């Protein structure tokens, strides 16, 4: 949803006003409709629509819009992965996504999700044990300010000391200047200037016993294999589950 809305806002642009419309309803698909959309069965589907009145797309662009790394944006604005990730998530959950657009007419993205037929159990979930905590010093790198802020807040609640950075090069400089100061490094994989796995190689070169957790939001873009030892102890998929992250941190530190 965030990727679709971000894409719609960027299609409108910063120098003009426009509208991003979000709508949901229930769609009843016949067998023919389901087959045309590449869905496994007819029936009830939740329809989610994001519509913008931006510049629109040519047929050539529309045909490639879900290809990984394809982008019409200027260099440095976006990675060309947002809509590819949306497509992968939707298809991975048994849904379909379709786009309608023409130059000067904006764009409409329509997602169909299989509708749940079972009822939700309203019983209270069992109380979970407190997340594992600690007092070690953690270096967290992510170019997304919101992710970085949320991560810092979580780690502070767990008792850890945190140094954070939105710039992988700056983070590497801080680590290289004093490798022994950091007990664990948490880094995003896809960042400008330096990927997370590239940072891991540098960290391992100056401190072979370093520990690192890698975060990624892209199912189909994982770190390349390293020929030698790597500080990466765990790879977690975004969005991050706080309890899972807390457990992964403690496991990496205790390794």
Are 77 and 10 spatial neighbours (Cβ–Cβ below 8 Å)?
A: yes
Cα–Cα distance, 146 to 158 (Å, whole number)? 19
* Residue 86: both structure tokens together: 């949306």
Give yes or no for residue 219 having a pLDDT over 90. no
137-254, CATH topology level: Rossmann fold (3.40.50)
Under DSSP, the state recorded for 230 is: -
Give yes or no for residue 109 having a pLDDT over 70. yes
Are 166 and 239 spatial neighbours (Cβ–Cβ below 8 Å)?
A: no
Model pLDDT, residue 183: 98
Cα–Cα distance, 142 to 152 (Å, whole number)? 11
Q: What's the mean per-residue pLDDT of the chain? A: 86
- Over the stretch 140-190, which tens digit does the pLDDT of each residue have? 999 988 889 999 999 999 999 999 999 999 999 999 999 999 999 999 998
Residues of the chain with CATH 3.40.50.2300: 137-254
Cα–Cα distance, 84 to 87 (Å, whole number)? 5
Within a 10 A sphere around the Cβ of 121, how many other Cβ atoms? 7
- Burial of 151-184, coded b for 16+ CB within 10 Å and e otherwise, reads bbebbeebebebbbbbebeebbebbeeeeeebbb
Give yes or no for residue 1 having a pLDDT over 90. no
Q: What's the whole-model pTM score?
A: 0.56
Residues of the chain with CATH 3.30.565.10: 2-114
CA distances from 159 to 58, 75, 135, 249 (A): 52, 40, 5, 12
Answer yes or no: CATH 3.30.565.10 is held by domain 2-114: yes
With CA atoms as reference, report the closest residue to 167 among 149, 150, 183, 144. Answer: 144
Strands (E), the chain: 20-29, 43-52, 96-101, 107-114, 137-141, 161-165, 184-188, 212-216, 232-237
């Amino acid at each position: 949803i965030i990727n679709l809305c971000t894409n719609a806002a960027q299609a409108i642009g910063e120098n003009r006003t426009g509208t991003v419309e979000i709508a949901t309803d229930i769609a009843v698909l016949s067998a023919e409709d389901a087959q045309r959309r590449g869905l496994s069965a007819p029936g009830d589907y939740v329809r989610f629509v994001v519509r913008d009145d931006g510049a629109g797309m040519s047929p050539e662009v529309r045909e490639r819009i879900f290809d990984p790394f394809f982008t019409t944006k200027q260099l440095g604005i976006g990675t060309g992965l947002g809509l590819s990730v949306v497509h992968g998530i939707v298809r991975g959950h048994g849904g379909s996504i379709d786009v309608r657009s023409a130059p000067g007419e904006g764009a409409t993205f329509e997602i169909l999700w299989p509708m749940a037929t079972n009822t939700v159990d309203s019983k209270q979930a069992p109380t979970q044990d407190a997340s594992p905590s600690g007092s070690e010093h953690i270096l967290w790198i992510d170019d997304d300010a919101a992710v970085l802020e949320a991560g810092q807040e979580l780690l502070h609640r767990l008792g850890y000391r945190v140094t954070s950075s939105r710039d992988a090069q700056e983070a590497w400089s801080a680590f290289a200047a004093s490798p022994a100061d950091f007990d664990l490094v948490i880094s995003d994989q896809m960042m400008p200037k330096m990927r997370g796995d590239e940072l891991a190689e540098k960290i391992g070169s100056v401190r072979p016993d370093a520990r690192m957790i890698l975060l990624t939001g892209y199912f189909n873009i994982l770190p390349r294999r390293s020929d030698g030892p790597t500080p990466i102890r765990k790879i977690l998929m975004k969005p991050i589950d706080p309890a899972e992250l807390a457990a992964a941190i403690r496991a990496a530190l205790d390794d």
